[in-house]
Amino acid sequence: MNKILSLGVVAFAVPLLAARGESNGRLSGTYRLQGANPSPGAHCESAAIVNALRYEGYEVSEPMILGGGGALSFTFGEGAFPFIGGRSLDLRERFFSTAEISWTSRIPQGRDLGWQEITDLLGRGIPVVLRVDMRFLPYRYGGKYGPSRMSFGWHLVTLFGVDWDAGLAWVSDREYDGLQKIKIADLSRARSSTTKTFPPRAEYYWMEPPEGSEGRKIVFSRLVSSSFETITEHYENGALDSLSRFGSALSSYDANGVNGFLLPAALRYMSGCIEEYGTGGAAFREPYKAFIAEAERSGAVADAETLTAALDASIAAWHELSSQMRSFADGAKSMGKAERSRNFILLGNCADALYARERILYTEIKRRSEAPREGE
């Protein structure tokens, strides 16, 4: 890996194990992976994974993870603040399996939160992906904890270093260049949060480094084939059905007794779910287009024009829906009930048009998933 592990001022005077272990029952020493140069990304988990894999020497991009993991899907959670989900929940499992990367996940049971093993992994030169409640990451909120509405326990960061004596850690995070410094106590709180919105349960995982130079390369054609099959499965196992009912759900949202005072925030939240909250734009369809473009350049996708056209149409429909939501949010407080109702019907019509575009996209992806693979 050609990386040097820093162990503080005694790094070159004693063996690695000398700084490892516990002092008076507590972990001690400094474990900081040198040469880490994380980059911002489109989505928190794919960004966390790509920064860890690149550090270990894998030749990989973030679109390869999102695309190869078959990210595209759809869920709609009704309520006062309806959640719009554009990606599947098995992204990492699908990607690691297809890319043939060995990985291990842990959900620790003790109060230690797995810090001993995490420290040992850093000692081996391996970055560790941590699942956290983003509310308790002070570097995101001007040095303080975020408001309760920002509590979300399926946020992923990658740990590149700890200094147990100083009580500090260094992580990469999706929106930020370079490493972010955080108190280990704050990071522990973020990992052990009991938020109702996907409690993180102190989950962590890591990927083993590649074996030899050939192990660094991921077979792009395999990612593409798996991507088409996975997305077809997602659409047929619920995503298309949910999309078909999306327009009706939005049209009737106002009739469900939503608090008018909360309406602008709810509309902006739904728009954010589409464009801003780690989706890469258009509910993950923008980064998937980047995956197809990258695959075409590598020769793993042929005749991509029809697929790209279907993606462009879907992306435009997602942008139109989110734009209408933002426009509605800006004027919602001054609207009467009849005008509000008309705007919800307009949103429903946008969602119906989106469903039609998504169905065309699904049909094109399914056609490609059923095409014979090279050599068959």
pLDDT at 257: 59
pTM score, whole prediction: 0.89
**26-27 and 30-33 strand pairing:** unpaired
343: enclosing H helix or E strand = helix 337-369
What pLDDT, on a 0 to 100 scale, did the predictor assign at position 336? 87
pLDDT tens track for 88-134 = 999 999 999 999 999 999 999 888 899 999 999 999 999 999 999 99
CA distance 269 to 82: 8
- Listed in order, strand segments (DSSP E) in 133-217 are 155-163, 168-172, 180-183, 204-207
- Count of positions (residues) in the chain: 376
Which pLDDT band, with edges at 50, 70 and 90, does 77 fall under? confident
- Collapse the DSSP code of 341 into the 3-class scheme (helix H, G, I; strand E, B; otherwise coil) and give the result: helix
Chain segment 121-145, per-residue pLDDT in tens: 999 999 999 999 999 999 999 999 9
C-alpha 113/C-alpha 290 separation (Å) is: 37
For residue 254, pLDDT over 90 is answered with no
DSSP codes of every residue in 137-161: -GGGTTTSPPPGGG--S-EEEEEEE
Contact assessment for residue 6 and residue 179, using Cβ atoms and an 8 Å cutoff: no
